[in-house]
Amino acid sequence: MISKKMAQEINAQINREFFSAFLYLAIANDALDKGFNGTYRWMSLQFKEEQEHALKFSKYLQDQGQKVVLDAMEAPKTEWKNILDMFEDALLHEKKVTAWINDLYTLALEEKDYATQSMLRWFIDEQVEEEANCNEAIAALAMVGASANGLFMMDRQLGKRGQG
Ligand code: MG
């Protein structure tokens, strides 16, 4: 059994993960509008991953006998300047998510809630990967700059995500 406070905080995180999904979907849509099909694919995969994060937290809350309460969501932006801007925004958001997960872990430590600590460790590792993925794309995009050829190649590369 987890505390009422912990249940509330995890519930808030479920809603934030759904917002993350929405944000990546908005970026995916804008990438498609701008003709960046590879970036569209990358962001679409991330949209799915974020929904899985929300469902993973939901399942945990339900396994702990708690009710999941879905909130109304803030609308994400609809337009970004370019691919670099998209990844920079994604990174900024992931850093916020990392801080929220860390806050949850701090609470779990304070409450000596070992089950929640164990569940959260997967998310702590996942956040390292999420930030690294964004940083990697940002570094490559910064090298490419405004080169049309470079952006074309980079977009193609991003579209290969998940293909080994
Ligand atoms: Mg997430």
Nearest C-alpha neighbor of 34 from the set 65, 66, 80, 74: 80
Select the CATH number that applies to the domain covering 4-158 from these four: 3.60.150.10, 2.60.40.420, 1.20.1260.10, 3.40.50.300.
1.20.1260.10
CA of 154 to the centre of ligand 1 (A): 24
CA of 140 to the centre of ligand 1 (A): 23
HEC string for 14-45: HHHHHHHHHHHHHHHHHHHHCCCHHHHHHHHH
Cα distance between residue 56 and residue 52, in whole Å: 6
For the entire predicted model, the pTM comes to 0.95
Question: pLDDT tens digits, residue range 102-161?
Answer: 999 999 999 999 999 999 999 999 999 999 999 999 999 999 998 999 999 999 999 998
How many other CB atoms are found less than 10 A from the CB of residue 57? Answer: 24
Question: pLDDT tens digits, residue range 16-70?
Answer: 999 999 999 999 999 999 999 999 999 999 999 999 999 999 999 999 999 999 9
Residue 163 has pLDDT above 90, yes or no: no
Report pLDDT for 161: 87
Residue 164 has pLDDT above 70, yes or no: no
Banded pLDDT at 162 (limits 50, 70, 90):
confident
The structural domains of the chain, with segments of one domain joined by +, span 4-158
Question: pLDDT tens digits, residue range 77-118?
Answer: 999 999 999 999 999 999 999 999 999 999 999 999 999 999
CA of 129 to the centre of ligand 1 (A): 11
Report pLDDT for 70: 98
**CB neighbour burial string for 94-124, b if at least 16 within 10 angstroms, e if fewer:** beebbebbeebbebbeeeebeebbebbeebe
Tokens of 49: 């991953």
CA of 97 to the centre of ligand 1 (A): 7
* Contact predicate 113/58, CB 8 Å: no
